[in-house]
Amino acid sequence: MGLSSVLLTEEDKKAVRAVLPAVRRTSPQAAKIIRRLMRATTAGPVAPMRPYVSVREIAAAFSVTDQTVRNWVDRGWLPAERKFGRGPRRIPRSVLSSADALSRPRPSVRDFTPEQVEAILRSPRRAKTK
């Protein structure tokens, strides 16, 4: 499906073209942006997303080197496919969601004293869950 069918109808395009000269007079930079958007809506279909990403894309997402990603794949820490055991590693795009999860802030972990740990381990509620 192309951007034109998603973003703008033909009436919308006519309206934008009509106000573009006025926008250009007040803000030439905004007019350039609008023209680029208009071209993008008429560019045709959007390329489908590839199901796999490259080692370089994963390395950029995790902020590591390409070789580190290759090592992760070779050790089995990162899922990947290779044709006939050779060639470039094909890493599923879903791995990128892990990069997003790693970049989110984590809640702080509460430090317990040894006495608190003992109390938790001896609590009757813990015994019930076994």
Evaluate whether 41 touches 7 at the Cβ level (below 8 Å): yes
For residues 56 and 65, the answer to whether their CB atoms sit within 8 Å is no
CA angle 21, 7, 47 (to 5 degrees): 115
The residue written with tokens 């006519």 in the block is 14
3-35 confidence digits (pLDDT tens):
444 566 778 788 888 888 888 888 888 888 888
**Which residues have a Cβ under 8 Å from the Cβ of 3 and sit 6 or more positions away?**
40, 41, 43, 46
Going from N- to C-terminal start, the domains of the chain cover 3-41, 52-103
Tell me the pLDDT tens digit for each residue of 79-122.
888 877 788 888 888 877 766 655 666 667 678 888 988 888 88
Query: For residue 70, is pLDDT > 60?
Result: yes
